[in-house]
């Protein structure tokens, strides 16, 4: 039976496969490890699972540099291991979506190896190539998100190639129809295997300006409300109107949606990184010919964000609501790229467990599809990583101003008194597991009815019983207190009040008393 909107009403769980469960005991998580833990995920009560990239890759950016789109990297297992995972997930009622990185490939992809040979081969224009300026400098002023120019000179071909990210991640030329068709073919390969959709990495980065015009200087007043730019670097000094978010992108998204519609109950989740992400989010999801939903940026942005306040939530929500057109948003407080929410928003909070429960309850109460990143159901804080332990190339580049993304990527703690917290039998894992995580391991929390894990399970179950929390409208209320967040959820004639005390002091609203870090959801 078709369940077209399962992704709207459901709850998703994100898995970073390197760090979930190591079945073959090499210190790195794998697909067989995920399969082993599927019953745990199903018991959590979620409906879908997003698995970050597991395709063949030289791992310069840990899987976000794909060298073969239709082959599982041996680090994670085999294509048959994925089939087993998928079969087990479906038997447990879980739908699987996978991360498709379409804007760029690995520098080791066979397409790039062919393209760089010369200017006349069959794949000569599958990537973005351009001649140097007369003085040998890059073709324009575009910058890489990871630092430095977005151009690297290739001596073999005698031209610069474009890369929005690492130099090992050359950008594909979406103006070439053959490139689009090849990528759609890769998507169809996994749809045929049985996945229920895709999380689309950097979905607004697909197209570039054919004329390679320079980006202008960024006008701070033109930036969407709530976007956090903590430290100005060359990338943030530009208005990115020519190197991404190009109008031609709409045409490709329509082609992708046409493909998705051939496979019932599938969905697309687009990650948008832009100065005005909500304008783009509605543009990309308006109607039924484009993406199904897009991934928020503001609620996961910032490494040094202020403690959680009501406007942290209300500002981006209202920004999205005020956009013309219709669209459905997806929200997360953490993922594999950002500082974990308990640490990012709770620097002054002493009771981290209560704060974690509050955050998960809040996320699950908002209008939109919630995504819970692995470990958030345990209330894990950001792990501290020394320079010697850093694996993230971005962290190595920005040290010591920022240590990178490793702090949110450390392995899951399963058993508190087991070696490597039950993640692996290997004596050294790819990233260390801190003691602050071991004491919050799954086995410890399973036996505590008031643990973050069990309280999160409990509220996910309640959410399933309340359609108003799944699809109802949201209306924020003025509490006149930046540490007291309130809103109504509305569905038809039904209306419930949701209150969240974001502080460690008692609060009240119209006679309703809230203890420190307590939530109030009318009807629960």
Catalytic annotation, residues: 201, 271
The owner of tokens 């910032």 is: 302
Cis peptide before 18 (omega within 30 of 0): no
Length of the chain: 524
Residue reference for tokens 């005020």: 322
Residue with structure tokens 């058993």? 415
Tokens of 149: 């120019």
b/e map 192-229, b = 16+ CB within 10 Å: eeebbbbbbbbbbbbbbbeebeebeebeeeeebebbee
Torsion, Cα of 80, 85, 89, 95 (10° steps): -80
Tokens of 423: 């993640």
Instruction: Detail the DSSP E strand segments found in 57-143.
Output: 68-72, 95-100, 129-130
For the record, the structure tokens of 8 come out as: 């709207």
**What is the gyration radius of the CA atoms in the chain, in angstroms?**
23
What distance, in Å, lies between the first and last C-alpha atoms of the chain?
30
Q: Running DSSP on this structure, what letter comes out for residue 2?
A: -
Answer yes or no: are the C-beta atoms of 293 and 281 closer than 8 Å. Answer: no
The pair phi, psi for residue 250, each rounded to 5°, is -60, -40
């Amino acid at each position: 039976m078709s369940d077209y909107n399962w992704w709207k009403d459901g709850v998703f769980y994100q898995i970073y496969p390197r760090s979930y469960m190591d079945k073959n005991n090499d210190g790195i998580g794998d697909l067989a490890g995920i399969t082993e833990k599927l019953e745990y995920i199903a018991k959590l009560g979620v409906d879908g699972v997003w698995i970050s990239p597991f395709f063949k890759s030289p791992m310069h950016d840990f899987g976000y540099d794909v060298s073969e789109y239709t082959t599982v990297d041996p680090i994670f297992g085999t294509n048959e291991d994925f089939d087993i995972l998928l079969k087990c997930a479906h038997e447990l009622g879980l739908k699987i979506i996978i991360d498709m990185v379409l804007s760029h490939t690995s520098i080791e992809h066979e397409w790039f190896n062919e393209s760089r040979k010369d200017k006349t081969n069959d794949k000569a224009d599958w990537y973005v190539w351009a001649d140097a300026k007369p003085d040998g400098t890059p073709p324009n002023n575009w910058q890489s998100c990871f630092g430095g120019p977005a151009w690297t000179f290739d001596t073999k071909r005698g031209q610069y190639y474009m890369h929005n990210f690492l130099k090992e991640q050359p950008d594909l030329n979406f103006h070439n129809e053959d490139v689009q068709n090849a990528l759609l073919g890769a998507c169809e390969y996994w749809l045929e295997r049985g996945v229920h959709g895709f999380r689309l990495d950097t979905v607004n980065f697909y197209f570039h300006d054919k004329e390679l015009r320079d980006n202008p200087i960024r006008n701070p007043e033109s930036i969407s409300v709530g976007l956090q730019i903590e430290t100005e670097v060359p990338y943030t000094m530009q208005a990115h109107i020519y190197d991404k978010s190009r109008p031609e992108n709409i045409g490709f998204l329509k082609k992708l949606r046409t493909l998705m519609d051939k496979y019932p109950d599938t969905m697309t989740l687009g990650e948008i990184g832009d100065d005005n992400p909500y304008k783009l989010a509605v543009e990309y999801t308006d109607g039924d010919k484009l993406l199904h939903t897009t991934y928020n940026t503001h609620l996961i942005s910032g490494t040094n964000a202020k403690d959680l306040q009501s406007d942290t939530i209300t500002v981006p929500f209202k920004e999205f609501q005020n956009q013309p057109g219709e669209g459905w948003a997806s929200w997360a407080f953490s993922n594999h790229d950002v500082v974990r929410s308990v640490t990012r928003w709770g620097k002054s909070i002493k009771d981290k467990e209560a704060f974690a429960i509050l955050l998960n309850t809040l996320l699950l109460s908002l209008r939109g599809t919630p995504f819970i990143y692995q470990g958030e159901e345990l209330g894990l804080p950001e792990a501290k990583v020394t320079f010697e332990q850093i694996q993230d190339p971005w962290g190595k580049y920005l040290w010591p101003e920022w240590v990178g993304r490793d702090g949110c990527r450390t392995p899951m703690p399963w058993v508190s008194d087991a070696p490597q917290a039950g993640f692996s039998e290997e004596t050294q894992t790819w990233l260390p597991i801190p003691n602050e995580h071991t004491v919050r391991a799954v086995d410890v929390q399973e036996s505590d009815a008031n643990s973050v894990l069990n309280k999160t399970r409990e509220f996910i179950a309640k959410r399933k019983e309340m359609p108003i929390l799944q699809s109802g409208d949201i209306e924020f209320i003025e509490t006149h207190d930046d540490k007291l967040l309130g809103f109504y959820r509305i569905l038809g004639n039904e209306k419930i009040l949701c209150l969240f005390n974001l502080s460690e002091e008692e609060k009240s609203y119209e006679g309703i008393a809230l203890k420190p870090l307590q939530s109030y959801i009318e009807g629960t």
